[in-house]
Structure 1
Amino acid sequence: MAETSVARGPVTVRTARPDEHDLVGELTVEVYVGGGLVEPDSGYVPELRDARARAADTELLVAELAGEVVGAVAYCPPGSRYAALAGADEAEFRMLAVVERARGRGVGRALVEACLDRARAAGLSGLRLVTQHNMPAAHRLYERLGFRRTPERDWPLESGKHLLAYHMPL
């Protein structure tokens, strides 16, 4: 897929280049582990770090502020092995990460809107995601954008906790 860049205010969202995959993996681990969202010894950490594998089966997007990559997300089209909840005519996004110093500047919103744009352009019926209980700022963002909770799609974890499912009809 050809690289496209979309400026949303001071934020530019574009497809991650192959030479940025390691950076995206480390950024994602920094946000999730450094931010206390997952434990350092969690079995999820290697998956968070492996942006190269995500890029092979998703559209790995990055957000830049002033030329610096400060966020990333994996847009999962239908058929992606990373689309765990999406139906046949839906997309999903995973592993949204924005570094602490860039929060509150529209980075997360720009990344989610880029996913919405891709799903709409593909003529899909909806966009789905799951999020952790300990991510209230993300929940507020999703709800402001029009996503609604779909508890019947909550994703159970081995720990006994559940990831919270959200959906945006398109």
Structure 2
Amino acid sequence: MTIVVRPVEPDDFAEVSRLTVEAYRADGQLEDDAGGYAVALADVAARAASAEILVAADGQQLLGSVTFALPGSPYAEVSRTGEAEFRMLAVDPAAQRRGAARRLVQACIDRAEALGCTSLVICTRDVNRAAFALYDTFGFTRDPSLDWSPVPGVRLLGLRLPLQVLAH
């Protein structure tokens, strides 16, 4: 298996929508979707118009996706000037444990470094232990200044990864 990370293409939108919603549902993150987050997850075209979406693919099979955003853009929630953030990291439940999430996170790190960002940030649900374990392997650390709640009952905890600013 060879996982390749590449920018999303319009022909990918329907599959990215499906796998993202299924991943969040399988992980228990849409059980009380009073805020309509499933609708936002499914709207890949809107995300692609306002942020970068990367997909992990094995040949023609899409395994997962992530949204990469810069501060001030519509999908940036907590990043500040000089930082980048990623959101909506999802791997198809049928393709989990194959390294797709790891590849997608690394692609976000690489992209942020290439843009000269000083940090990469992410917020994840307080109950998502698998995400915390993954981000820990990259060196992300808790940053409580990034914590927030998009809707009552959903608590997001912030993580930060300081980056090496590459000299040009």
Q: Same fold (TM over 0.5)?
A: yes
Residue 49 of structure 1 is matched in structure 2 by 42
Identity %: 44
Tell me how far apart the structure 2 counterparts of residues 136 and 26 of structure 1 sit (CA, whole Å): 23
Counting only pairs closer than 5 Å after superposition, residues 21-170 of structure 1 correspond to structure 2 as 21-39=13-31, 41-42=33-34, 43-170=36-163
Deviation at 1:158, TM superposition (A): 2.6
Tell me how far apart the structure 2 counterparts of residues 141 and 91 of structure 1 sit (CA, whole Å): 18
Tell me how far apart the structure 2 counterparts of residues 158 and 95 of structure 1 sit (CA, whole Å): 16
- Where in structure 1 are there 5+ consecutive unaligned residues? 1-8
Cα contact 2:71–2:78 (8 A) shared by 1 = no
Residue 166 of structure 2 is matched in structure 1 by none
Tell me how far apart the structure 2 counterparts of residues 138 and 10 of structure 1 sit (CA, whole Å): 23
Runs of 4+ in 1 over 3 A off after TM superposition: none
Tell me how far apart the structure 1 counterparts of residues 108 and 133 of structure 2 sit (CA, whole Å): 17
Tell me how far apart the structure 2 counterparts of residues 104 and 34 of structure 1 sit (CA, whole Å): 14
Deviation at 1:33, TM superposition (A): 1.6
Tell me how far apart the structure 2 counterparts of residues 40 and 52 of structure 1 sit (CA, whole Å): 24
Cα contact 1:37–1:134 (8 A) shared by 2 = no
TM-score by length of 2: 0.90
TM-score by length of 1: 0.89
Tell me how far apart the structure 2 counterparts of residues 20 and 161 of structure 1 sit (CA, whole Å): 29
- Where in structure 2 are there 5+ consecutive unaligned residues? 164-168
RMSD between aligned residues: 1.5
Q: Deviations over 1:4-50 (max 9, x none)?
A: xxxxx821100010111122111111111233221274411110110
Residue 16 of structure 1 is matched in structure 2 by 8
Tell me how far apart the structure 2 counterparts of residues 161 and 47 of structure 1 sit (CA, whole Å): 16
Please state whether the residue corresponding to 2:123 is helix, strand or coil: strand
Please state whether the residue corresponding to 2:97 is helix, strand or coil: coil
Shift of the 117–55 alpha-carbon distance from structure 1 to 2, 3 Å rule, reads same
Cα contact 2:22–2:93 (8 A) shared by 1 = no
Tell me how far apart the structure 1 counterparts of residues 60 and 18 of structure 2 sit (CA, whole Å): 18
